[in-house]
Structure 1
Amino acid sequence: MKIKLTTIYVDDQEKALGFYTDVLGFTKKADFTNGAFRWLTVVSPDDPDGTELQLALNDNPAAKTYQQAMFKQGQPALMLFSDDIKADHERIKANGGNFAMAPTAVTGATIAQLNDTCGNLVQLSQLARW
């Protein structure tokens, strides 16, 4: 058994696609519509058959309330792992990413947080090498 898909709610799917591809560097995997519904996923270019991230529209009131509450509390909706967080931080900043927290050493890791411009905080983490 393995995780194939996880979902993040966004307030604008087209804007989210731009952020997750142009700023973070992911690749669009699936994009199709059925009436008003749009199924949109991205993947890591390093693992195109790996776990997909669904960029789901937060048109569900429960999803929207959850998304807004997490953002207001400063809680990331998504955690991504990096082998070189400082290089990723610089690359993402150069691509227009807006960091709420620059790379910061914490117990067991270095973390950074950025705003995905679609209602979420995204945390980058690089685990400490023991």
Structure 2
Amino acid sequence: MRIHLSSVFVDDQEKALRFYTEVLGFVKKHDVPVGPDRWLTVVSAEEPDGTELLLEPSGHPAVRPYKSALVQDGIPATSFAVDDVHSEFERLRGLGVRFVQEPLETGPVTTAVLDDTCGNLIQLVQSR
């Protein structure tokens, strides 16, 4: 068994697509109209056939309180692995990304947490 698809709820799919591709560096995989929304996925440029991330519309009534509670408590919606958290932090901060947690070493991992501009906190993780 493998993880094929994961998702993050986003307030605006087009804005999310720009952020996840132009800023974070993911690549659009699928963009299929589904009523007023889209089945919109991105993948790692390093693993184009790897796990897809669905940029899921936040339309369901349960999503807003769920996302708000996570952000209020500082809990990331998901985590992305990077080779070097410190260099990724500097690169993204240079692009104007807002971090709610600067790189922090905790045992065998270094983490940083950013705001994806679409209502989520995203954790970057480097394992040693």
Same fold (TM > 0.5): yes
Q: Percent identity?
A: 48
The equivalent residue for 2:114 is 114
- 1:88 matched to 2:88: yes
Residue 90 of structure 2 aligns with an amino acid whose one-letter code is E
Q: What is the aligned length?
A: 128
* Distance across 2 between alignment mates of 1:40 and 1:47: 17
Superposition deviation, residue 108 in structure 1: 2.0
Compare 34-43 and 46-55 and name the one that shifted more.
Answer: 34-43
Q: Which runs of 4+ in 1 moved over 4 A?
A: none
Gaps of 5+ in 1: none
The CA deviation string for residues 100-122 of structure 1, in whole angstroms up to 9 with x for no partner, is: 11111112211100000110000
TM-score (norm 2): 0.95
**Paired position in structure 1 for 2:48:** 48
Residue 70 of structure 1: aligned partner: 70
Partner of 1:97: 97
Q: Could you report, residue by residue, the CA deviation over 1:45-94 in whole angstroms, capped at 9, with x for unpaired residues? A: 00000000000011001122211111111100010111111111122122
Provide the rounded CA distance (Å) in 1 between the counterparts of 2:57 and 2:41: 12
Q: Does the Cα contact within 8 Å between 1:70 and 1:77 map onto a contact in 2?
A: yes
- Contact 1:22–1:95 (8 Å) recurs in 2: no
Q: Partners of 1:4 and 1:62 in 2: how far apart?
A: 24
Distance 1:119 1:34 in 2: 22
Residues in 1 aligned to 2:122 and 2:55: alpha-carbon distance in whole angstroms: 13
* Structure 2 counterpart of 1:57: 57
Give per-residue Cα distances to partners, 1:13-55, cap 9 Å, x unaligned: 1111111111111011111112213111100000000000000
In the superposition, the TM-score normalised over structure 1's length comes to 0.93
In structure 2, how many angstroms separate the alpha carbons of the residues matched to 1:27 and 1:67? 24
